[in-house]
Structure 1
């Protein structure tokens, strides 16, 4: 397994991050345990979750599964860099969502209890809260750090200017600030190249792409449909929107002799600022197939061909101004 620093920190994380969103809704607890055990066998030490995962308001189903896995011992907690997120609603009463100091305090304590741990390695804002000033956000996060409940703070779904605003307030307070940003980034969705990635590079944040295979579009969907696999109505709509590109992509993957899913992950690993794409397997079989992405070397010619199929963006403002 390859490891890298998380942004500008001294923390070492694996180049693949295990996403746990399917644990509970789509993957049984037994299978979730097996996937997490296999992750450690393969050297993956970076796991990502969120308090809302499980998708039953207030229950924290996925965090509870992780907590019961940690409770088995065997160094499971000690070997894991656990990242979780807050923002989404965990109840119907006021202050049970978003990034107020009150919710940050309560949400952190609840996540610690569910995951049966006394600290969170990376605590992330799942979305920007336009109603909470960054002064309040950082004061609450700094208190959690002082209490030893969290070690690092990250963001998710922030625009480039949100990252800049957060970091400048952190600088004013003489604190480390954000160390990572989770963004929707893949061969099809390349908007982060405009301003998010430049902001991450300038402020020293590691980029953690979510949905690296565009919800399955980059995972060999045409091959799977040809073999009789069904696709959701939404997936069919997305496929029709991008069919020409997907056809070219899968043909190019055939030329490379590689699985489309692994090529998509490998492409992300070749992009600047990327720390670790989040892989979200539903089964152990799906999970086992992803490690090959670390071994694929895409040369300049291959990267150029992928850019031809899926055109990206230059850094702003050059993309849209002189």
Structure 2
């Protein structure tokens, strides 16, 4: 099987690429190695498999680069796993046009290329942020979404709608995956777990927005990759709906104060807390109903945060020793 993984040098992407290779797939990685965080980290993510994949370094917003990725392997592509995106809720509030341009237009160019080349399987990385301030807990795929509260979430919802369009009009089998706060080795340095680990390790204060009672459904990276590969297999099922949406979460909602405590225990250091007001665009709670994914994708998250955070911290300290964190 020939698979294009966009954002394949990133956190989730590089783990997905490794799993695909282990299962015998031929992989093309499309990544622009942008400076949202240190590009050297992304290159390190791919170092172990660099000679086993075809890497196209370029921007999703350039149709010629997308075309290059679709024609890089002899025999063409069988499927696309679209993980590339401009990430982050707070930066999207500051630069909405960049997020609209990258996340919406980039997804459009990929789906157009699928149409042109007859690629019928498309897995799209969406986000739990599309639920906004959802009063029903846990969040289920059938819940009505009437309002998103950040440009980032809006672009992910637009991506889901585009997938629906191309499924209905072109016959591409699309699977949209709503990720719930993914963490683990290679996590981006701007995300809370990475940032807190670095600051506590350096004896610097951490910013805690609100009272620390916001809660997230944290999902370990290996569990997420299980879900992605399950979705890829599902996209080959001719009997399945042409467009499907699944939650991928850890089913373990954890409050911010509890998260900080687990990181403290893993590092053997106490955090100095800098109290901050609540942030615009942040949702107070995420909680995934994964029963649909369990039934149809055989998705069974197994890693609790009490074991996942120590594994992340061990990896982080190793990267720190190499000057990459």
TM-score normalized with structure 1 length: 0.34
TM-score normalized with structure 2 length: 0.34
